[in-house]
Structure 1
Amino acid sequence: MFYLGTHKRHWVKTAGVPLFISVRTWREGVTLPRATVRHAMDSSGFTEIQKHGQWTVTPAQYVSEVRRVRDEVGLLDWAAPMDWMCEPAIIHGGWHGGQYFAGTHLSVAEHQHRTVDNFLHLRTLAPDLPIIPVLQGWEVSDYEHCADLYARAGIDLPAEPIVGVGSVCRRQATAQAAAIITTLATRGIALHGFGFKTHGLGICGSSLTSADSLAWSAHARRRPPMPGHTHKNCANCQPYALQWRTRALNGLSPWNQPTLETSEGPKK
């Protein structure tokens, strides 16, 4: 399953393909559109911790937001938990790639414990909501340790419909990322790759059950608009996004080609 990332809420009525939308995008809506396509929700954890070095949203608030989207929008496949990323920039803080990071100044192990504890808390608060577990770490051994933390907490990851893999998207095209994904896949876990670009999908995609990408928007921002389009660029343009999606998926090897045409999901 391939979820097309977007910052536009109304696309759930018009896009005709599965979408990946941040809770921040839903949070801005006074009224929410009714979905005609399936979609998944990002918890915006990276932005939250990058800016503040901690979560400023409570689990109860987040549960309320997920429930609102599930009930008012409908067709919600799942929502990410309030996990703690493990990138060095997130932990140590400072300027990286032109962005400022507050820094948590905690260890990878502490981020992992907080990630697992939050998932358990959310599942206790709202067992009816499709909030998924996410594996966090930096080295391969970190992710294996995180999986073991879930197991010790009574969470059978291979039995979960989908499990996210965090802190990989910015190095998805590396051998290290491929090793992380393939190692976790051998445990029989259905993995979701957050923020995967086409090159990363080409390397790791055969070990993923699903992935999302907003890469089309950055791609469009660096180029002139499509013929006949009057905006400065197509960074928020649905026709551009859908054309990018078709090209990206057509360019993948046939090992696990997602269905191109609809929101129906993988063919059985």
Structure 2
Amino acid sequence: MRFYLTTHKRHWLRLTDVPLFLKSEHFDRAIKWDEAQGPYAIDSGGFMELKAKGDWTRAPRQYVDSLRRIWEHVGPYDWAAPQDWMCEDAIINGGTFGGQYFVGTHLSVREHQRRTVNNFLELRSLAPELKIAPVVQGDCVPAYEDCLELYDKAGVDLRKEPIVGLGSVCRLQSTKKGAEIVTAMAAHGLRLHGFGFKILGLERVGHLLASADSAAWSSHARYRPALPGHTTHKNCANCIDYALKWRDRVVNSLPPTPGQLKAAA
């Protein structure tokens, strides 16, 4: 199981060979490109896009062009997320959640799933050579099953995909409902990626995932003193040293049993 360290610092790609997870938008204004020293994957930035705008403002062709530039200048990535549509209540209905404002798409879960599948098909059509991963979306086990059916009807055999993103479980990962969703999808023989998984979620269902990513290290660091000797900043919320130490703690805290998360990439 590969655990990606999520960061907005694209230059970290030349500083470590630890698996990294970065948003495509962080490369949009790149002048100097850093060649990746280790594995990495690309996030489309869908959560923030839908949170702030309630729609995708970047056309699929623009996204594909960005992915091609990243591949060419940084090196081959493991996979890239599509421009999927999360099915969390905040994304769909809008409002203030946890102090954050969501504009809301005001669409149905089914419509979000339809748009997710259609976008994946369009991206694959525009760039069949790129490693773009499908993502399944839903808000309960039956809904996720419906999403699998949409892919099946479109001629996509998810069991043959190297990785399948599991969307809209980030805030459910340590709950019974979240575990049920992960278990149900894993039962279909899918190699799942868990977006934004923290240690509690990994302890509970990490053995069912092929990979996961997390940026939780940054929020942890924001409320703690800087590491000893780090006198140039008041906290380590943007610090690679803290991030790597945090990742080591996460990986080493999990039982080293078959199928569980391993420190080695």
Same fold (TM over 0.5): yes
The secondary structure found in structure 2 opposite 1:188 is: coil
Following superposition, the deviation at residue 36 of structure 1 comes to: 1.0
The whole-number CA distance in structure 2 between the counterparts of 1:77 and 1:16 is: 13
Structure 2 gap segments, 5+ residues each: none
Write out aligned runs for 1:1-268 (5 A).
Answer: 1-230=2-231, 231-255=233-257, 256-261=259-264, 265=265
The whole-number CA distance in structure 1 between the counterparts of 2:148 and 2:256 is: 30
CA RMSD of aligned residues (A): 1.0
**Aligned residue pairs: how many?**
262
Q: TM-score, normalised by structure 2?
A: 0.97
The whole-number CA distance in structure 2 between the counterparts of 1:11 and 1:260 is: 18
The whole-number CA distance in structure 2 between the counterparts of 1:52 and 1:96 is: 16
The whole-number CA distance in structure 2 between the counterparts of 1:218 and 1:182 is: 28
The whole-number CA distance in structure 1 between the counterparts of 2:219 and 2:16 is: 19
Residue identity in the other structure for 2:71: R
The whole-number CA distance in structure 2 between the counterparts of 1:24 and 1:223 is: 28
The whole-number CA distance in structure 1 between the counterparts of 2:137 and 2:66 is: 23
Per-residue deviation, residues 51-97 of structure 1 (Å, max 9, x unmatched): 10000000000000111111110031100000000001101111111
Give identity over the alignment, percent: 56
The whole-number CA distance in structure 2 between the counterparts of 1:110 and 1:158 is: 23
The secondary structure found in structure 1 opposite 2:10 is: coil
CA contact (8 A) 1:249 1:257 kept: no
The whole-number CA distance in structure 1 between the counterparts of 2:172 and 2:30 is: 33
Residue identity in the other structure for 1:200: G
The whole-number CA distance in structure 2 between the counterparts of 1:178 and 1:73 is: 35
CA contact (8 A) 1:89 1:103 kept: yes
The whole-number CA distance in structure 1 between the counterparts of 2:20 and 2:193 is: 14
The secondary structure found in structure 1 opposite 2:241 is: helix
CA contact (8 A) 1:37 1:75 kept: no
Following superposition, the deviation at residue 98 of structure 1 comes to: 0.9
Q: TM-score, normalised by structure 1?
A: 0.96
The whole-number CA distance in structure 1 between the counterparts of 2:138 and 2:31 is: 36
Question: Residues 204 and 258 from structure 1, CA distance in 2 versus in 1: closer, same or farther, beyond 3 angstroms?
Answer: closer
User: 4+ residue runs of structure 1 moved beyond 4 angstroms?
Assistant: none
CA contact (8 A) 2:206 2:261 kept: no
